[in-house]
């Protein structure tokens, strides 16, 4: 099956976005794909701020993106756009680093007013980097993801059924597109 990279642009360890990412990761892996998550806030801050393209951490993260068949870009919405920390990392990807890859956006925001942030802030930047094949994106609002504190230090999340259904549809579309590409590659190689 395919290798899928999830790039998380959340600067907050307890972000509801993490609940969405965890759910999507489990669904993807149940379909037989492998995943790797790049949590941008975990990359060295000096490398991001000073645009150190050659740093070991950035080179490794970029290698994961290069080796992936699909990239999921996940971010909370701040000021009607994706986070600055996500933009700092996207700026360090190669100019055509998304060429030929399937891309699926996952955004979460406080209100439906920012629903179009995927189309108006994210897609133009990713398109300039060679992304041409977008699958169904999902925009969620905060009230669709509950934080559960169970007395441990770990934050857990519970997603509302409507959001789970939309995420499953997005994962299924991604899976089917990857399967079609794999079938086409086999036919093209004569297998």
- Spans of all domains in the chain: 3-188
Query: Which overall architecture, per CATH, does domain 3-188 show?
Result: 3-Layer(aba) Sandwich (3.40)
- Residue where the block lists tokens 């950035």: 58
CA–CA gap between residue 92 and residue 47 (Å, rounded):
9
On whether the CB atoms of residues 3 and 36 are closer than 8 A, the answer is yes
pLDDT in tens, 121-168: 999 999 999 999 999 899 999 999 999 877 777 889 999 999 999 999
**Residues 7, 92, 2, 139: what is their CA dihedral angle, to the nearest 10 degrees?**
30
pLDDT at 185: 83
Neighbours of 20 (CB within 10 A): 27
On whether the CB atoms of residues 61 and 38 are closer than 8 A, the answer is yes
Q: How far is it between the farthest Cα atoms of the chain?
A: 57
Kindly give the residue spans of alpha helices, DSSP state H, lying in the chain. 16-30, 45-49, 56-67, 84-90, 117, 123-128, 161-188
pLDDT at 191: 62
| Residue pLDDT tens, the chain, 191 long | 899 999 999 999 889 999 999 999 999 999 999 999 999 999 999 999 999 999 999 999 999 999 999 999 999 999 999 999 999 999 999 999 999 999 999 999 999 888 889 999 999 999 999 999 999 899 999 999 999 877 777 889 999 999 999 999 999 999 999 999 988 888 887 76
């Amino acid at each position: 099956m395919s290798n899928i990279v999830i790039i998380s642009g959340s600067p907050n360890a307890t972000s509801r976005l993490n609940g969405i990412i965890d759910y999507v990761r489990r669904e993807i892996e149940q379909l037989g794909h492998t995943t790797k998550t790049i949590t941008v806030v975990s990359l060295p801050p000096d490398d991001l701020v000073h645009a150190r393209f050659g740093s070991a951490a950035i080179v490794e993260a970029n290698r994961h993106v290069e080796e992936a068949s699909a990239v999921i870009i996940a971010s909370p919405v701040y000021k009607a756009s994706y986070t600055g920390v996500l933009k700092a990392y996207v700026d360090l990807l190669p100019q055509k680093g998304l060429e030929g890859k399937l891309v699926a956006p996952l955004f979460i925001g406080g209100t439906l007013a920012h629903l179009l942030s995927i189309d108006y802030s994210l897609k133009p930047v990713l398109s300039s980097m060679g992304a041409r094949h977008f699958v169904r994106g999902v925009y969620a609002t905060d009230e669709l993801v509950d934080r559960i504190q169970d007395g441990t230090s770990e934050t857990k999340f519970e997603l509302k059924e409507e959001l789970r259904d939309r995420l499953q549809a997005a994962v299924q579309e991604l899976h089917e597109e990857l399967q079609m590409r794999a079938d086409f590659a086999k036919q093209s190689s004569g297998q």
